Amino acid sequence: MARTTGSDGEKTEAAIREAAVNLIARLGYEAMSMRQLATEVGVQAAALYRYFPTKEDLLFTLMRGHMEGLIDAWDAARPAAADPATRLAAYVENHIAFHIKRRHSTHVSNMELRSLSHDRLSQILKQRTAYEKELRTILRDGSEAGVFSVDDTGLTAMALIQMMTGVIVWFRPGERLSISEVTATYLSMTMRLVGAKAHGATTSYSAARPLGRSKEAVAL
């Protein structure tokens, strides 16, 4: 895929990605035209194709970047050699913080999978599976250690992912709850869902790292 080199080219590509995420989240992938996108960025429509030869190239790049950012954020936030309860608390905090910060990107990544070709869809789903496997491993380790009571690890992991990602649907900064309060509430619900003993992860993890201050604060 041809790219314009140099700092100006990198800035233009970043502007294209940001504008595309916002437009697709608002209008939908099919409804957004490359001409609309060019107008939003302030470039000629033909210039877009130097960065993204096709509209699907653009969508795939956005979705792949979203998943790479999420996986990298978890790699940075993962506690070293921690007990399952503390790892689960870290996973919950990181997941919520990442998705709240990237509301439009999350919406695009969840709603536009249908717009990808088979091969590209497979690549994104492979990334998702790798990320979700981390949660299933935490739940399995906790169950084997007697810390959690989980009957179906895969189903529980799926339910938790859906619950945590769903925060973007209703949460708005500056309203009744802060990100820290939302995270603490969701963490408590998570611990009840997995049958954590006395919900001890909330205490142990918060003492090590206050809620709402995830290491994943790097922009995607």
Q: At 67, is the pLDDT very low, low, confident or very high (cuts 50, 70, 90)?
A: very high
- Residue closest to 148 by CA, chosen among 184, 200, 204: 200
Given a cut of 80, whether residue 40 has pLDDT beyond it is yes
Q: Which string of DSSP letters, residue by residue, matches 51-102? A: H-SSHHHHHHHHHHHHHHHHHHHHHHHPPTT--HHHHHHHHHHHHHHHHHHT
Residue 198 confidence class, pLDDT cut points 50, 70, 90: low
Where is average pLDDT lowest: 89-93, 123-127, 163-167, 211-215? 211-215
Q: What is the pLDDT of residue 8?
A: 77
Please check the confidence at residue 135 and state whether its pLDDT lies above 90. yes
In the chain, list all ranges with CATH 1.10.10.60.
1-52
Q: What is the pLDDT of residue 204?
A: 41
Arch. (CATH architecture) of 1-52: Orthogonal Bundle (1.10)
Q: Minimal CA–CA distance to 66: which of 108, 33, 113, 126?
A: 108
Look at 33-37, 42-46, 78-82, 172-176 and tell me which has the smallest mean pLDDT.
172-176
Q: Which part of the chain is CATH 1.10.357.10? A: 55-207
Q: How far apart are CA 96 and CA 182, in angstroms?
A: 9
Each residue's pLDDT tens digit, 156-178: 999 999 999 999 999 887 778 88
> Are 29 and 114 a contacting pair, CB within 8 Å?
no
- Distance (Å, rounded) from C-alpha 168 to C-alpha 175? 13
CA separation, residue 169 to residues 10, 149, 160 (Å): 31, 29, 15
Query: Does domain 55-207 match CATH 1.10.357.10?
Result: yes
Contact, 44 vs 38, CB < 8 A?
A: yes
Answer for the pair 98, 70: CB distance below 8 angstroms, yes or no. Answer: yes
Is 138 a residue whose pLDDT tops 50? yes
